């Protein structure tokens, strides 16, 4: 809908208020420097509040696993607070995005990188959701475990 409406920048964020809208000006300003801006929990100045040890380890581990397998230096591969330039989403074959769950975040960032676009991370503080319930499940973890290597080595990997 945003693309059809002619938007120049498209912001993705969680609707449960774990992504603070006060960071939007920071993401939009950083879009002057890069094609994709990621609001990152894992760069200096970034943080997570109100999460327990297991959830922190799962999130950090997922980002580390993705970063290692995909050969990228993006620290927050599983983050979902992003600002895309229109040209990025127009260039990526969105109908070929195969992942769901958290691996969707990984796949979108990886496709942006593989398409040759620039990516930067800006620090944010991620907080526990203020509404709704987690969608994390064993199936999502399993999906990510096999989809991430498939993104890099599978037959349908982005070129």
Q: pLDDT exceeding 90 applies to what percent of the chain?
A: 57
First to last CA, the chain: 26
Residue 37 lies in a domain: yes
- d(CA 28, CA 43) in angstroms, rounded, equals 18
Q: Using alpha carbons, select from 40, 117, 124, 122 the residue that is nearest to residue 85.
A: 117
Residue 83 lies in a domain: yes
For 78-105, how does the pLDDT look when each residue is reduced to its tens digit (9 = 90+)?
Answer: 999 999 999 999 999 998 887 776 788 9
52 is written with which tokens? 């327990």
Residue 72 lies in a domain: yes
- CA dihedral (134, 140, 141, 147) positive or negative: negative
Residue 4 lies in a domain: no
Q: What is the pLDDT of residue 18?
A: 86
Residue 13 lies in a domain: yes
Q: What is the pLDDT of residue 37?
A: 98
Q: What is the pLDDT of residue 103?
A: 85
Q: How many domains does the chain have?
A: 1
Strand partners, 47: 125
Q: Which of 54-68, 91-105, 144-158 has the lowest mean pLDDT?
A: 144-158
Q: What is the pLDDT of residue 154?
A: 79
Task: Answer whether residue 134 shows pLDDT above 90.
Answer: no
Residue 1 lies in a domain: no
- d(CA 93, CA 101) in angstroms, rounded, equals 19
Q: Which of 15-29, 66-80, 102-116, 126-140 has the lowest mean pLDDT?
A: 126-140
- d(CA 89, CA 71) in angstroms, rounded, equals 22
User: Which residue range is the domain that position 104 belongs to?
Assistant: 9-148
Residue 2 lies in a domain: no
- What is the maximum alpha-carbon separation in the chain? 42
User: pTM for this structure?
Assistant: 0.88
Task: Answer whether residue 141 shows pLDDT above 70.
Answer: no
Quick check: 151 and 107 in contact, CB under 8 A? yes
Residue 158 lies in a domain: no
- The 3-class secondary structure across 86-153, one letter per residue, is HHHHHHCCHHHCCCCCCHHHHHHHHHHHHCCCCEEEEECEECCCCCCCCCCCHHHHHHHHHHHHHHHH
Task: Answer whether residue 16 shows pLDDT above 60.
Answer: yes
pLDDT confidence tier of residue 153, bands split at 50, 70 and 90: confident
């Amino acid at each position: 809908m945003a693309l059809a409406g002619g938007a120049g920048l498209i912001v993705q964020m969680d609707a449960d208020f774990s992504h603070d809208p006060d960071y939007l000006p920071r993401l939009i300003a950083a879009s002057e420097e890069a094609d994709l801006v990621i609001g990152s929990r894992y760069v200096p100045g970034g943080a997570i509040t109100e999460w327990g040890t297991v959830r922190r380890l799962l999130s950090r581990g997922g980002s580390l696993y993705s970063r290692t397998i995909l050969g990228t230096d993006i620290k927050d591969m599983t983050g979902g607070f992003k600002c895309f330039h229109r040209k990025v989403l127009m260039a990526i074959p969105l109908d070929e995005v195969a992942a769901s769950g958290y691996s969707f975040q990984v796949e979108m960032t990886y496709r942006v990188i593989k398409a040759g676009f620039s990516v930067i991370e800006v620090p944010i503080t991620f907080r526990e959701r203020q509404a709704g319930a987690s969608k994390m499940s064993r199936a999502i973890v399993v999906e990510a475990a096999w989809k991430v290597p498939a993104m890099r080595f599978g037959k349908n990997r982005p070129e």
